[in-house]
Chain A
Amino acid sequence: MTAHRTQRGGRIDRSRIIRFTFDGTAMSGHSGDTLASALMANGISVVGRSFKYHRPRGIFAAGIDEPNALVTVIRGKLREPNVPATQIEIYDGLTVESQNRFPSLSFDVGAINGLAGNLFAAGFYYKTFMGPVVGPLKGTRFWMFCEQFIRRAAGLGRAGYEADTDRYEKMFAFCDVLVVGSGPAGLAAAQRAAAEGKRVILAEQDGTLGGALRWRSATIDGQPAAEWLDTTEAELRAAGNVTILPRTTVWGYYDDNQFAALERVTDHKSAPAIGEPRHRQWTIRAKDVVLATGAFERPIVFPGNDRPGILLAGAAARYAAQFGTLPGRRVAIFTNNDSAYEAAVALRDAGAEIAAIVDLRAGISPAARDLARQAGGELLLGHAVTNAGGTKRLREIDVQPFAGGTITDRGKRSIVVDCLAVSGGWSPAIHLASQAGAAPVWDEALQAFLPPAPSQRWTGAGAFAGKFSTADALGGEFEVDEAEIDYAPAPVFEIRPAKKSGKSFVDFQHDVTASDIRLANREGFQSVEHLKRYTTLGMATDQGKTSNVPGLAIMAAARGIPISQAGTTRFRPPFSAVSIGSLAADTHGHFKPERLTPMHDWHMQHGARMYSAGLWYRPMIYGAGGETIEQAYVREAAAVRESVGIVDVSTLGKIAVQGPDAGAFLDRVYTNMFSTLPVMKARYGLMLREEGIAFDDGTTWRLGEHEFLMTTTTANAGKVMQHLEYYLDCVWPDLRVHVTSVTDEWAGGAVAGPNARKVLEVCVDGTALDNDALPFMGIVRGEIAGAPVLICRLSFSGELAYEVYCGAGHGTHVWDALMAAGKPFAITPYGLEALGTLRIEKGHVTGAEIDGRTSPRDLYLDWMLSKKKPYIGSAMVDREGLVAEDRVRLVGIVSLDDRPLNGGAHIVERLEDEPRDSIGHITAVCYSPALGKYIGLALVKGGKTRHGQRAHISDPLRNRFGPVEIVSHHFFDPEGSRMHG
């Protein structure tokens, strides 16, 4: 039992004591407490320091709208800053720290900012960090230097540096009716939909259902509200068609009734169950949605309105009735509407003394008068609170007569209180409806923005729709007994005494005052969008849930226009803070799919070190005990040139192009001719994009009059498929062609080297393999170890080479047979590094050179551009810019200092130049066993014209500089005698 805990009542379990730590001090609360209610029960009045002025701040609200009580939750080495204390359900071992204070909450050196208040007015950063335009500091870095200190003083919590070790997951759900919010309106809507047999999802932001039923008093169908809530919840839980999601905030409303929701699965537990994620990110598609998100109470702006002990009246009632905690012992109420009278009674019932009810209005409803009598204390109609005193705890308030917007000094007096409960009216939580695309409508009677006519399939219910009474929220079919109060407030948002007596806060979290808003008006930042950006009103982590409407009202008053004309900003997702981890969830780490070739296990068993290439895994090298990567690939590449090697090429994209017009189609998509290609022959082809830039290359095999097997690079397989489908669907639907991706149907191995034919001769049945039967670019069908194979004689390595394809299921079987046949020739499996080395030695291009910027001429592939027919890109490939002299073009480079080169390094003419102008960059590098040198391919201005010239590589990031010689990219066997042999 603590000073602020009530004797009884509240939806907390007093038999369960929960221990937690706040700023290193051990404290306790009960099951059912939030951190805010537990801190309040422990008598903590100051929970944080404000953003700019470092003023002591206390708990101001009881829900997600809390602007002051932000804390950092510490779990092991992880820190999660800026969590509203009102949203934390306490658990044993909870550890939190307060924020933006140094060295401690009660003594904070930053509070000196409060004395320099006028310096930090709206636009402070814009004005200050422009730097002086005259004087001795003009153009110096002095201002930048100051900035870092000023920015450090302003701020919120500090995130940790440790990687997040928690697990997050994603869920997708579909339902007939999504109900957002489980107050009376949401519960009744869920009940109705469930009764109609619909699939219902009921999402509630808090840990318990019920919304205001947990603290407002009413009788529903003869039961007290709290009992009706428990009965209804039990019914919904028993229904088979209702999914209840507690601790779930629906934060985004997207097209076609798609919703994003964050479920905080274990944030309220000391020890999560095995397998439980911390957060679950829901994507919900709902046929219909009921928005029952309630309303936020507004503060009234007056000098000193941020003193600890001043809080929203509805929040005060909630602390008393739901949490059994009193925000103060001697309480005053300050209101412009009837709803605060209910709060007064709730506080009184919980044991607080009501000192006074200060109401801006001269007259109130009979129901309110009744409530005032019940609450006790002085009823001061036509009065305003004009100041509040006390630093770390409210001590007293000044009260003055108020009529017609005028404050009179006569009758001014002070009332000693330790708590002031304020109500400036209610703003429906229309955020989701606004996200859905509808502009809110200003309601003059309720002095609030109400949701507009729906633009998607949603209906509104309860306070969201401006229906604040429990009866209206539930809908017609319930008997409700409650105080019949009037929810229309007096249209007063700010109390402005003639004599300035202190700061009047509008946005507590960003320390935006009423005078900041008037300053923005004077300086011309009048539109709501400008106001927001200039003053940062509503831009803090609470997104202005308590401050938007008062801020707008003050701007409208300053401009002398009605609020309805001042406009409002559109709400955007997220409604409240969303963990980044939940957005990434399973899309990283071990849930990423892996594509493995049919021979993957063989590679692993034979010491392959794997590369990930997109989703594919391919052998990089086959490490033979203790070799470096370079030693391994040099050994593998040399074996290919000396005898024979074998490489897995299953990852190449493969597309079956079939139909009577297949040849004509390929003539259009490739720059060179395919319709004339004889059956059982292959040809190397180049594709361009429409604008004449190289897109992809590969060999395409004619297997029949109407049937081609196209191969693409591994990386572009999907893009090429889409490219072909686009042209067939959208440009040339008349062509009788069908394309099918067959990448995964085939396993492929390339056998390369002077002994390649001898290897095949040992194991291939059913076909001859000599030069006549299988010439360069010829194709034969045969069998290896009983499995049908397709063999094409083509070469990427520059050696005599054959690509052997078989059904994917036979892959390892055929590979084993090839390895066995190659044993007498010491056949060497080789990986991507050796493959790259062999192709660099030959000057063959890949994606590193076909990089989306190079034209065929840049790559010296202009011999492939047919003059006999149009093709995709033919009309634009000769444009001025694409044939310009100074384009970067393909060359070879040789390291002259016998040190390795780096891909991506720039090439310059002279290292002495400052700045050094790049004349190109390196695209691929290797150590060439054939040449005994470090070589590379590069794209260099002028290309061929620089052959024989010296240049330098300049790679400051890796600190590698050195001389190179620019040579032809055909390093090895330029005549191609080896592959034709």
Chain B
Amino acid sequence: MLIPCPYCGPRDLSEFTYQGDATRVRPDPGSTDQAAWNAYVYDRVNTAGDHSEFWQHSGGCRAHLRIVRSTLTHEVKSVAYARDSIHERSRA
């Protein structure tokens, strides 16, 4: 599998570290809502199809990327710096 790192170019999977589901939203740090924290830490949907996830280019520029990948074909549908996408989300 190749991941097109926006900084380094297309690179082999072995240079990356999977960093988890990018759809989960961390509760407000001061929140004591156990159900929300539990969902954030443990609950995952086992998506068959397009899945948004974080990958770190740990063997390269070390940036975290937000990638939409099909879990059925391993096709990478989109790549963005995680930082940018988080900024966008907080602006929205």
Q: Identify the A interface with B (CB < 8 A).
A: 254-256, 258, 285, 437, 455, 668, 690-691, 722, 725-726, 729-731, 733-734, 870, 874-876, 879
Contact = CB atoms under 8 A, between A and B. Distances in A.
B71 interface: no
Contacts of B66: 730
B26 A731 contact: yes
B83 A729 contact: yes
Contacts of B41: 690-691, 876
28 contacts: A255-B2, A255-B74, A256-B2, A256-B74, A455-B73, A690-B37, A690-B40, A691-B42, A722-B56, A726-B19, A726-B54, A726-B56, A729-B54, A729-B63, A729-B81, A729-B82, A729-B83, A730-B19, A730-B64, A730-B66, A731-B26, A733-B82, A733-B86, A733-B87, A734-B90, A875-B31, A876-B34, A876-B37
Given A254-B1, A690-B40, A730 B30 contact: no
B62 interface: yes
B9 interface: no
Contacts of A668: 29
A258 B56 CA distance: 21
A695 B34 CA distance: 21
Contacts of A258: 1, 12
Nearest to A718: B58
Nearest to B36: A875
Top 3 nearest A-B pairs (CB, nearest first) are A729-B64, A255-B1, A870-B29
A731 B32 CA distance: 18
Given A255-B1, A733-B83, A875-B27, A726 B64 contact: yes
Contacts of A875: 27, 29, 31-32, 34, 37
A831 B25 CA distance: 46
Nearest to B22: A730
B34 A730 contact: no
B87 to A, nearest CB: 6
Contact of A870 (B30, B34, B40, B56): B30
B78 interface: no
Contacts of A730: 19, 22, 54, 64, 66, 82-83, 86
Contacts of B73: 437, 455
Contacts of A690: 37, 40-41
A729 B17 CA distance: 14
B78 to A, nearest CB: 16
Nearest to B26: A731
Interface string B30-72: 1110100110111000000000001010100011101000000
Nearest to A880: B34
A733 to B, nearest CB: 4
Nearest to B54: A730
Nearest to B37: A875
A565 B86 CA distance: 49
A879 B34 contact: yes
Interface in B3-31: 12-13, 17, 19, 22, 26-27, 29-31
Contacts of A731: 26, 86
A255 B73 CA distance: 8
Nearest to B90: A734
Contacts of A254: 1
B88 to A, nearest CB: 10
A870 B29 CA distance: 6
Nearest to A691: B41
Contacts of A876: 34, 37-38, 41
Contacts of A734: 87, 90
Contacts of A729: 54, 56, 63-64, 81-83, 86
A969 B86 CA distance: 45
- Chain B facing A: main interface SS: mixed
B34 A725 contact: no
B86 to A, nearest CB: 5
A172 to B, nearest CB: 9
Nearest to A727: B26
Nearest to B64: A729
A879 B32 CA distance: 11
Contacts of B32: 875
Contacts of A733: 82-83, 86-87
A874 B29 CA distance: 9
A135 B35 CA distance: 55
Contacts of A726: 19, 54, 56, 64
B79 to A, nearest CB: 14
A690 B64 CA distance: 19
B37 A725 contact: no
Nearest to A172: B12
Contacts of B58: 722
Contacts of B26: 731
Nearest to B31: A875
Contacts of B30: 870
A870 B74 CA distance: 38
Nearest to A874: B29
A729 B22 CA distance: 12
Nearest to A872: B29
A255 B38 CA distance: 34
A458 to B, nearest CB: 15
B8 to A, nearest CB: 15
Contacts of A691: 41-42
Nearest to B10: A256
A689 to B, nearest CB: 9
Contact of B62 (A255, A455, A725): A725
B31 A722 contact: no
Contacts of A879: 34
Given A255-B13, A668-B29, 5 more contacts: A254-B1, A285-B12, A730-B86, A733-B83, A875-B37
B33 to A, nearest CB: 8
Contacts of A256: 1-2, 74
Contacts of A455: 73
A870 B26 CA distance: 13
Contacts of B74: 255-256
Nearest to B27: A875
B51 to A, nearest CB: 15
A730 B41 CA distance: 15
B91 to A, nearest CB: 11
A729 B19 CA distance: 11
A735 to B, nearest CB: 11
Nearest to A257: B2
A733 B88 CA distance: 11
Contacts of B81: 729
A874 B26 CA distance: 13
Contacts of B29: 668, 870, 874-875
A437 B87 CA distance: 37
Given A691-B41, A870-B30, A725 B56 contact: yes
Nearest to A455: B73
Contacts of B17: 722
A899 B30 CA distance: 51
Contacts of B31: 875
A726 B83 CA distance: 10
A729 to B, nearest CB: 4
Contacts of A722: 17, 19, 56, 58
Contacts of B37: 690, 875-876
A731 B56 CA distance: 14
Contacts of A437: 73
Contacts of B40: 690
A954 B56 CA distance: 44
Of the candidates B29, B74, B90, the one having the most CB atoms from chain A within 10 angstroms of its own CB is B29
B23 to A, nearest CB: 12
A874 B38 CA distance: 13
Contacts of B83: 729-730, 733
A141 B7 CA distance: 64
Contacts of B2: 255-256
Contact of B64 (A255, A285, A725, A874): A725
A959 to B, nearest CB: 41
B58 to A, nearest CB: 7
A819 to B, nearest CB: 38
